[in-house]
A and B are shown apart, each in its own frame.
Chain A
Amino acid sequence: MQFARPLAELIAQLEKLPGVGPKSAQRLAFHILRMADDDVRRLSESLLVAKRSLRLCDVCQNISEGERCEICSDPRRTDDVICVVGEARDITAMERLNEFRGKYHVLHGLLNPIDGIGPEQLKVRELIQRLANGVSEVIVATNPTVEGDTTAFYLAKLIKPLEIKVTRLAHGMPVGGELDYADTATLLSALEYRREI
C-alpha cells in the first residue's frame, strides 16, 4: 500500500533516527497524526530550539547552552581532576553520585576502526590541550568493552609521559548483588581485580 506523500515523507525522516526501524517509524508517524495540533507544534519547535541553541562546551565538549557548560563554569568544582567519558550521557550517570567534584571531558565516541573512528574523530586533541593547566589526575571512565579498554589504554599512553596520574574505573561485582546471579564475565573481572582486605 502507498502512503500519502506527506505521511511517507514523515516516515522516511523518522526512519533516519537511530534504533528506529521501518515498523517503529510507521507507528510513530501514525501516533503523531493522532496527536493534538499543539503537541505536534511543541515537538517540532523543541527539535529546532534544541538544535539551534545547543553547542559543545569549549572546554569539556559536553553539550551546552553557552560557550561553557554549567559544570565547567561552576567555581566550586576543581580543575585538577578530569573524568573522561565516551558520551555526554555518561556525565549524567557520574553526576547522580554527587561525589565527583572535578570536571569532565567528553570524547564523543570510542576508538572503533570498523566504523572508521580513530583519535582524529574523537575529542582527544582537546583533552591533551587541557592537561597543561595543573591537572594531577585523569580518570578514564569509558565502558568496559574492548573499544572502551583500547581507548583507555591509548589515552594512558598519551598522558602518562606528561607525568599525570591516569586511572581507570574498576569493574567487578555489582554492589548489593548476589554472587549466584552475577554474569560470568563480571564475576571473572571481579576475581581478576580482587584486592586484599
Chain B
Amino acid sequence: MIWLESLGVEGYRNLATMRLEFSPSINIFSGKNAQGKTSLLESIYLLSSSQVLRGSRDGEAIQDGSESAQVRGEVAPTGTELGVDLGHGKRKRALINTSGLPRASDLIGRLPSVVFWSGDLTLATGDPAARRLMLDTELSQIFPAYLKAFSAYKRALQQRNALLKMAQERFVSDEVFESWEVQMVAAGEQMRHIRASWLETLRPFAVETHAAMGRAETLSLEYVTKEPGDLAIQFAMERRREIARGATLFGPHRDDLELTIDGRSVRLFGSQGQQRTAVISLKIAVMHAAQATLGFPPLLLLDDIFSDLDQERRKALVEVAMGAGGQVFITCTESEQAGDSLIGAAKVFRVQSGQVEEE
C-alpha cells in the first residue's frame, strides 16, 4: 500500500506554513467554511495529479503577497518525497526527492488518488467534457501508457486545429494533414482502447454499487464514439467541413461516457436523486477499479460530501471508505457528521483561519 506520511505547505492559498503527519487510514479535516479544509485536501491532490482542483489556475493557489507556493509530501513506505512548486508567471515545477522533473505531469502515478467533491455532480449533469476529464485524470494516474498517448494526442490535436485554421487562408497539402492525422490516430486508438477496457473493469462495480443503494433501477455505462468507422478515414472524408469549422470534430476528445438508468439518459431525464446516486456509484466504482488495477487502494479524498448527501448515500460512501483499507482524507464542517465509526478510527485535524491543530 502507498500512503502519504506527511505534508508540508508554504505559501499555499490561505494555509499557514506547516507540516502535518497523517494516519495511514482515516484523516479528518474539520472546521467551519472558508478556513482552509479544501485547500489542504487540494494540496494533497496537487502532489497526486500535479493539478489544482476546481478548475482554477495554478497561480490562484499562491497566497496573496507570496512569490511562490510549495507543497511537499513524503510517501510511505518508500520514503520518496514528492513536491510541487508554483510561481507567478513561471512554469509549474514537480520534484522527486528534491530533483526537478522535466515535466510537471511526470509526477502523475506516484501517489494515485480518487477525489469526491461537489463538482462531481457534473459527471451526471454536465456535458461530455466533464466525463472525459474524469476518465483522462483517472487513467493517466493508473496507466503510464495512457498518459503518454493522451499527451501526444492533445498536442497533435492542437496542431491539427491550428492547421485547419491555416488552411482557411492558404493551401495545405493532403500530405501535411495526413502527417498530423497519423499521430492523432495512433495515440487516439490507444486512448480509446484503454478507456474501453477500463470501462469493462468499472462497469460491474458501478452496477453493483448502484443496486446496493436500494434502488430497483439499473444503471448502465456506455462508451460512445461519434464517427461510424475508422478515424483515419473519417479525418480524410470530413477535412473540408473541418477546415470550414476550424476544429477537429471527431476523435477521443469528442467521445462520451453515457450514463443511463433503465435506458433513460441520467443527464437529460434523471431526477436530482437519481443523478446523485449515479455519480456516487460511478465514483465508488472508479475507486474499486483503480484498486483492482493498481493492486492497492488509491488515496481517497472526500471533500465536504456529508452536507450534500442524505443518510443512505452517506452510509454507502463511509462503508466504502472504511472497507477499502487505504488512506482516506475527509473534510467536513463538524467531525460528528462523519459518524462515530469513522471518528473512532480517524486522526482528526481542526482547521481554523489556515491554521491546523491535531486533536
Contact = CB atoms under 8 A, between A and B. Distances in A.
Interface of A: 111-114, 116, 118-119, 145-147, 149-151, 153-154, 157-158, 183-185, 187-188
Among all A-B residue pairs, the 8 with the closest Cβ atoms? A113-B162, A184-B144, A154-B179, A113-B163, A146-B155, A114-B162, A153-B179, A150-B179
A13 to B, nearest CB: 22
A131 B107 CA distance: 44
Contacts, number: 61
Given A111-B159, A146-B159, A158-B175, 9 more contacts: A111-B179, A112-B159, A113-B159, A113-B162, A114-B159, A147-B159, A150-B183, A154-B179, A184-B109
21 contacts: A112-B159, A113-B166, A119-B173, A119-B176, A146-B152, A146-B159, A147-B155, A147-B159, A149-B183, A150-B156, A150-B159, A150-B180, A150-B182, A154-B179, A157-B178, A183-B101, A183-B102, A184-B106, A184-B147, A187-B144, A188-B148
B147 A111 contact: no
Contacts of A113: 159-160, 162-163, 166, 180
B169 to A, nearest CB: 10
Interface of B: 101-102, 106, 109, 144-145, 147-148, 152, 155-156, 158-160, 162-163, 166, 172-173, 175-176, 178-180, 182-183
A97 B302 CA distance: 54
**Which of B159, B178, B179, B180 neighbours the largest number of chain A CB atoms within 10 Å of its CB?**
B179
Contacts of B175: 154, 157-158
**Would you call the interface of chain B mostly helix, strand, loop, or mixed?**
helix
**Which of A111, A153, A185, A188 neighbours the largest number of chain B CB atoms within 10 Å of its CB?**
A185
Given A113-B159, A184-B109, A118 B180 contact: no
Nearest to A147: B159
A67 B141 CA distance: 53
B188 to A, nearest CB: 13
A90 B180 CA distance: 23
Nearest to A154: B179
Contacts of A111: 159, 176, 179-180
Nearest to B175: A157
Nearest to A150: B179
A187 B176 CA distance: 29
A24 to B, nearest CB: 13
B102 to A, nearest CB: 7
A118 B166 contact: yes
Contacts of A187: 144
Nearest to B166: A113
Contacts of A184: 106, 109, 144, 147-148
Nearest to B160: A113
A130 B145 CA distance: 39
A146 B183 contact: yes
Nearest to A191: B145
B90 to A, nearest CB: 10
Contacts of A119: 173, 176
Contacts of B102: 183
A98 to B, nearest CB: 28
Nearest to A156: B179
Given A154-B175, A157-B175, A116 B183 contact: no
Contact of B179 (A145, A157, A185, A188): A157
Nearest to A120: B170
